[in-house]
Amino acid sequence: MKRSEFLRAAEEHFGARSSWILADLILPTIGQSANDALADGVPVRAIWEALCVETDLPESARYGQGLQAPPR
């Protein structure tokens, strides 16, 4: 997952709230906000997965708009 895909997926799923969710929501599995994790070099896919878990997004949202599901 690329950073641009991550940001597009966040905008798709959280809309106008995406900026404050990425800045203020602490992701327990990572121990910091999504923005801080991005700045610290945490893999984008790991941040997205933690965000999906913490915000209780359905499994169908795990890959975001325009993102492909991993091969099975």
Instruction: Give pLDDT, residue 31.
Output: 97
Contact 51, 64 (CB under 8 A): no
Instruction: Give pLDDT, residue 40.
Output: 97
Instruction: Give pLDDT, residue 61.
Output: 79
Task: Give the Å distances, CA to CA, from 42 to 15, 29, 60.
Answer: 23, 12, 23
- Residue from 16, 18, 69, 24 nearest 45 by CA: 69
pLDDT, averaged in runs of 10, over the chain (72 residues): 89 92 96 97 94 90 59 50
Instruction: Give pLDDT, residue 1.
Output: 81
Residue type, 58: P
- Residue from 39, 41, 44 nearest 6 by CA: 44
Instruction: Give pLDDT, residue 64.
Output: 55
